[in-house]
A = this chain, B = another copy of it.
């Protein structure tokens, strides 16, 4: 059997050269490591970072439209359709009529709210685990520095 593929940020004896100097690669490295822990944490549940974010956004912006959600997530509107379809089928989200008959108001159902509560606890634990090497001050500093990245 094939060993499960795992990302190791730095392999012994391998020269990374320029990659070690790039901020972009440092972020990518961290992101891959974090994703692995997220996936392992939520393995039993059918939830991804993307879907988790969607639930949180809808909970905190009740009545948001699919187009708006697509904008927040940075994906095409067609992608949101599939995500909401899945949530609706699972009974976690509801497409309710909005004033504008072209669009829906997205809302969490009771079951959705309840499940998200559990997800949030798990994700918080995961986040504390992956950032356990940092002090509170360092975490704040890291968030601050990360928020400054990207094309201005």
Copy tally for this chain in the complex stands at: 2
Interface residues on A, range: 35 or more
If the complex has contacts A30-B146, A72-B11, are A38 and B24 also in contact, measured as CB distance less than 8 A?
yes
Contact of A142 among B23, B37, B131, B132 (CB under 8 A): B23
A145-B149 in contact (CB<8A): no
Chain A 6-45: CB-based contact to B (< 8 A → 1; otherwise 0): 1111010011111100111111111111101110000000
Residues of B within 8 A of A89 (CB): none
Indicate if A1 sits at the interface (CB-CB under 8 A).
no
List, in ascending order, chain B residues with CB within 8 A of A152's CB: 132-133
Given A27-B146, A142-B146, do A14 and B49 touch, yes or no (CB 8 Å)? no
Stretch with Cβ within 8 A of B (4 or more), from A52-60, A96-104, A107-115: A52-60
Q: How far is the CA of A34 from the CA of B28 in the complex (A)?
A: 9
Q: A133-B148, A149-B34 are in contact. Are A56 and B23 (CB under 8 A)?
A: no
Tell me, in angstroms, the Cα distance from A19 to B152 when the chains sit together.
22
Can you list 18 A-B pairs with a CB-CB distance of less than 8 A?
A8-B72, A14-B57, A14-B64, A15-B57, A16-B56, A17-B59, A19-B57, A23-B130, A23-B134, A23-B142, A26-B147, A27-B34, A27-B146, A29-B147, A30-B146, A36-B150, A130-B150, A133-B148
